[in-house]
Structure 1
Amino acid sequence: MDVYDAVRSLIVLGTYPAGRPVTELELCERLGVSRTPVREALRRLEGDGLVRAARRGVTVVELDAKALRDAYLVRASLEALTAELAARRQRDGELSPASVARLVEHADLADQATRRGDLVAGARHNRAFHQYVAALADNPAASEVLDRIWDQITVSTRASLTAPVRPALVDDEHRRLIEAVTNGDPERAAAHAREHVLATMSVLAEQGGET
């Protein structure tokens, strides 16, 4: 793992939570590297929207209510696109049965972890499910932007991570998306993906929950 990936993981996984100041020296000591790669990593992470320059080092960014809503709206549009593309590839015979089965497996893991109350694992598997939809779309540009949006949302909503008020509904939304992709129905896949993200945004605005 290079320095950029290491620092990004420290932020996304919550070692350095939103609002936390981080100095170059602290990162150098933690990672056992010189200041040059740390400085370059922080520059890239600032471009990713995860940190902002501070008097000493950087501060991990926490999106305000409007910025978080904006991020969710972008995510909704991009996930609608990737779901549509995945369904098109399925319709055109480009996806293997194993890849579709893997999508179901991701949904199963997310649902199982959430129902047993393991919120950290549930969030991790949930993100893996959505990332896999994007992988099936085979559009690297969309996947790259989605990863950045997911990072920003994860960091800014970590403190509000609580037991989801709608675990069955979240899983049901995932299953409808899987069905549309499996059936090769681009329009329905896009609609289900968009509705899922917007529903998540609405619940989070009220009291937090599964992303």
Structure 2
Amino acid sequence: MDNKRLIEEIVLEVLNKISSSQELQSEKKPLRYVVRTCEKDDRALKEIEKHGSVRWIDVKEREYPENIDHVIFPSVNQDLLVKSALGITDTDESQLFSDLMRQGIRVHFILSKKDSWVLFAHEKNSPYAQMIESYVKQLHSFGVKLTQWEEYESDFSSSPYTFSGKLLTQKDVEDWGKPVIRVSSQTIITPLAKDAAREFNISIENKGS
């Protein structure tokens, strides 16, 4: 028995023991840090709370844990998007964004419905749209994730590409039969599973990223 297969079997046995003693199968909702702004979007906020435990960050106080690595800005408008790209910090929201960037904390902008057009600015042939597209590209270069609400919600919808187990093994990959496997951040991926994914040209994606 090669080392990789031995490791896979040991990990599986350990997980089974943990599962029986600590009820591992009961999923905990992920913790999400969300910026509380003046612009309220009840539907948006309810969607976040439905799929995760929320810790709010007040834009005026700008207090958050030191070990935080990901912050969500809901209902981002064009004003905040442009200021964030240019490094302008004349509002509480843009100042918070600047603080997070300087500390290397990942940011997810979920655009308001009326301003989600900026994600498709590259499809419009006008100097103004090209300027907006350059701001979007600048934010991407900072590592900022930009999505519409529809995309955010789809991250949690049931999908034939989603793997719900705690341990992704070689056999799981070989039997998958689809081009993508979406796993949670808590899923353990064995070395043999990664080898099999490369062999079968299957992409393993983290649905929490």
- TM-score between both structures, scaled by the size of structure 2: 0.20
Q: Which structure's relative contact order is higher, taking Cα pairs within 8 Å and 6+ residues apart?
A: 1
Instruction: Pick the structure with greater CA Rg.
Output: 2
Structure having the higher strand fraction is 2
Structure having the higher helix fraction is 1
